[in-house]
Structure 1
Amino acid sequence: MKHKLLGMTALAAVLTLGACGGGNNDAMDDAAGGDNDDQAPTTEETGDATETAIESDEAGDNPSGGKNEGMQETTQGYGFKDFDLEIDVDGKDAVDASYETKEDGTFEAEYENTLEGVDYGEDNQQDEAMNELDALFKEIVLDQNVTEEEAKKKILNALEIQDYTKFELEVKFEDGQNLNIQENK
């Protein structure tokens, strides 16, 4: 899909540059009363390719970000496709965060942080949950080489949690590796 989109974008760029190309004779032709319309493509001719490229965009392939910005970041920037975190403080749920990418490019996201009074667990709150997770993912930056201790420390620091009674983390990286932490105090 990306190659098709790039090809269509390149075609639109070439056609647009061609419209500007016609040389420096445009001003001379206009001054001389000449008509240069048959030398360069019109906006109508180049507009179709651009519109087709935008209309054929799918979730996760949105190069300009937009509504699926989190999805685009996840598939190209976070390095993992599934993330599941549960932290308890004093034996009670404190943070429950989950993110899962689907085969069709969509995602499911939930984020609950009782310490901050945040609960985005409903289906209609996917964008809010993804915004919270996006900020967390960009702050902790997990990759396949992170140790369990480093991952735990990054997450606890990002969430400003000093002490916990339960810490469970499962991350499935895009390359197939997994990171699993289960700790109860």
Structure 2
Amino acid sequence: MNKYSLKTTLITATLLLGACGTNNNEDTAEETPDGTVTNPQQSETVDESQSNENSPNELGFQYFNLNIGTLENENTIHAEVNLNDSGSEAIYKNVPASTDLQGDAAYALLEPIFAEMGLTKEMREEEVIERATNEFEINEFTNFELEIEFEDGDNKTYSKSVE
């Protein structure tokens, strides 16, 4: 080997090892002026479930009050949620599932149900009733009453009684 190719090989190897030696995925902590340490990668990450928690925009409504009665019990399902600036107020009673909750625990169970229903004010009454009874797993009902205040302030009531 001549001395120029040996030098070229050594320089190339040195550059490659230098480039491989830096770990860009390494957590770097930065000290802020007040002396606390932060991780810049973490501070840029936003937990969307917390930032949008109880946001009417997610579900499309501000108020939801559902009552479903069956032959076995006239109050089989009661789900009520009021979303406001200070959070949510929720009540969830489901007799077949032996559920009787209030507050955050009730909202935690109801939120995925509401998201799955995807109710809009443009839906026909039959479709709203079908989606709600399917999501709450009620096959046959004697009384269905639902009052919704959509996020734009429009109120709609859906009701059906079966004898």
TM-score, L = length of structure 2 = 0.67
Q: CA RMSD in A?
A: 2.6
Per-residue CA shift, 1:17-59, capped at 9, x if unaligned?
xxxxxxxxxxxxxxxxxxxxxxxxx6314988x9xxxxxxxxx
Structure 1 residues 177 and 63, CA, compared in 2 at 3 Å: closer, same or farther?
farther
| Percent identity over paired residues | 29
Preserved CA contact (<8 Å) 1:84 1:171: yes
The 5 A counterparts of 1:1-185 are: 43-45=31-33, 64-66=48-50, 70-72=53-55, 75-90=56-71, 91-102=73-84, 104-121=85-102, 126-185=103-162
Counterpart AA for 1:65: S
Q: CA deviation at 1:98?
A: 0.2
Richer in helix (by share): 1
**2:24 corresponding residue in structure 1:** none
Aligned length: 125
Runs of 4+ in structure 1 off by over 3 angstroms are: 45-48
Q: CA deviation at 1:64?
A: 3.2
Unpaired stretches in structure 1, ≥5 consecutive residues: 1-41, 51-61
For 2:31 and 2:131, the matched residues in 1 are separated by 51
Preserved CA contact (<8 Å) 2:89 2:104: no
Preserved CA contact (<8 Å) 1:170 1:179: yes
For 1:70 and 1:118, the matched residues in 2 are separated by 23
For 2:53 and 2:86, the matched residues in 1 are separated by 12
For 2:69 and 2:118, the matched residues in 1 are separated by 22
Preserved CA contact (<8 Å) 1:148 1:179: no
Structure 1 residues 107 and 154, CA, compared in 2 at 3 Å: closer, same or farther?
same
Richer in strand (by share): 2
Q: State the structure with more CA Rg.
A: 2
Unpaired stretches in structure 2, ≥5 consecutive residues: 1-29, 39-45
TM-score, L = length of structure 1 = 0.60
